[in-house]
Amino acid sequence: MNDALVPRALTIAGSDSGGGAGIQADLKTFAALRVYGMSAITSITAQNTVGVDGVHDVPADFVAKQIDMVAQDIGVDAAKTGMLSNAAIVSAVVESLKRNKIEKVVVDPVMVAKSGDTLLRDDARAALIRELLPLAYVLTPNVPEAEALSGIRITDMDAMQDAARALHAKGPRHVVVKGGHLAGAEAIDLLFDGESFQTFSSARIDTKNTHGTGCTFSAAIAGLLAKGFDVVSSVEGAKAYLTKAIRHALPLGAGHGPLMHHWMADDAKD
């Protein structure tokens, strides 16, 4: 396990003014897992449960400065990336991760918001594939993201495996293809380490309140890695945490409501 006074996890992502995804979801997840959370904000969004009304990107050099400042003073046991809006931000993040020797990096290749709004530009997608994927300790695409990054149409488990192999060949140490977008009574995620596959299954929950699921899952993996768990245990634990957060999700707003990140506190009352 981690010998630090407290496990330290850094999120490098966009800010969600509605509080359900991005930096806000990540920090809530870290806190729920008893991990000290830090943040480097890449973009500021004006959004709610219905959609994204505006995006303001933080200058790339200032994104890198945020990472440098916390890494060089507090230290980072694990990090995760979320919304990286443009190519300059991707490159700046990559250089800072290298400069600060941050090895346990969970890459959530955020491309589209739950509302359907685009969060990753075409130039950023190319830079992410070329520069960031080779640094990823764990890559966590959902089905549409895995299709976009691999060029493989995913309709079943065989295709998920093909996509995982193709993505692993681009450099990540581990690939988790999330199967929530596929049909079926269970939501099945697939982990590939370059040699073998492992699946993680949970009963599908019938709810529209799923805003921030991808952010929360990747943050939970990063938080558990920061605590010293191995990849399999971190993915398994993140899956269990996310399932409960969806089950306790909040019916706030007129669109996709947010998860309940502190469901453990509610469970303790029961």
Identify the active-site residue in 214, 223, 237, 257: 214
Read off the tokens for 77.
Answer: 């046991």
Total residues belonging to the chain = 270
Identify the active-site residue in 104, 178, 227, 239: 178
213 as an active site residue: the answer is: yes
List phi, psi (to 5°) of 9.
-125, 140
151 as an active site residue: the answer is: no
Partners of 190 in the β-ladder: 177, 199
Are 106 and 80 in contact, with CB atoms under 8 Å apart? Answer: yes
Are 221 and 235 in contact, with CB atoms under 8 Å apart? Answer: yes
14 as an active site residue: the answer is: no
Identify the active-site residue in 42, 49, 81, 213: 213
210 as an active site residue: the answer is: yes
Identify the active-site residue in 180, 212, 223, 237: 212
- The H helix count followed by the E strand count for the chain is 9, 9
Read off the tokens for 5.
Answer: 């006074």
209/206 Cα distance (integer angstroms): 9
Are 235 and 176 in contact, with CB atoms under 8 Å apart? Answer: yes
Strand order in the sheet with 78-81: 52-57, 36-47, 8-16, 78-81, 105-107, 138-139, 174-177, 186-192, 197-203
98 as an active site residue: the answer is: no
Identify the active-site residue in 19, 215, 243, 257: 215
Cβ count within 10 A of residue 134: 12
37 as an active site residue: the answer is: no
* Tokens 């507090």 -> residue: 74
Catalytic residues, by residue number, are 178, 210, 212-215
